[in-house]
Amino acid sequence: MPKDTLRITEIFYSLQGEGKTVGLPTTFIRLTGCPLRCGYCDTEYAFYGGETRSIDEIVQQVNELGAHYINVTGGEPLAQKRVHELMKTLCDAGYHVLLETSGALDVSGVDPRVIKVLDVKTPASGEMAKNRHENYDCLTKQDQVKYVICDRDDFQWSKQHLQEYALSDKCEVLFSPVQGELKASDLANWVLTDKLPVRFQIQLHKYLWGDEPGK
């Protein structure tokens, strides 16, 4: 690809469906490509294709959409090295930038102004071996760690993993059920019964629009 360009699957304006800024109008920048193949992935359409866009073009569209909050997502956005320049440019412009990453790639080079939302891959994801534990040393209080949980075994593993790496001491931790595989009320009850120091969440956008792209 030419210098200062990225492969982009879509850029769209919607409500943030998860995390600290849930419910807030947000511009999503979905980068193309991902080295993982999680069993519950709901954005497989971002694995391939996309459109080559310059960073200037991306920022111009972000400006036109008008949201203060920007979510850089994928795919796996860190699979494209120029994403670091994009995030720095957006931060320099005064935007509140979040990065959603699988946790399989190095996050140490991410601009410190960017809020990292780091997935931990559970056994049922099929990609547990890709967890890059060194990333946990890069977490700060502004960041979040997310466990996407498929079943009771995933929950038990996540609880042990959370405690082993003391992740709730580093940043906020999210437990989220896989829609259609685990009842949200079951996961909520498990969190309460075990008195875990985590935020339970559901994916707001899925309850509003299902898996419709661009929402």
Query: How confident is the model at residue 208, as a pLDDT?
Result: 85
- Domain ranges in the chain are 5-209
pTM: 0.94
User: Whole-angstrom Cα distance, residue 106 to residue 118?
Assistant: 11
Q: With beta carbons less than 8 A apart as the criterion, state whether 171 and 177 touch.
A: no
| pLDDT level of residue 164 (50, 70, 90 thresholds) | very high
Which residues are paired to 26 by β-bridges? Answer: 14, 69
- What is the per-residue pLDDT across 45-86, written as a single tens digit (0 to 9) for each? 999 999 999 999 999 999 999 999 999 999 999 999 999 999
| pLDDT level of residue 1 (50, 70, 90 thresholds) | low
Domain 5-209 has CATH 3.20.20.70: yes
- What is the per-residue pLDDT across 37-51, written as a single tens digit (0 to 9) for each? 998 988 889 999 999
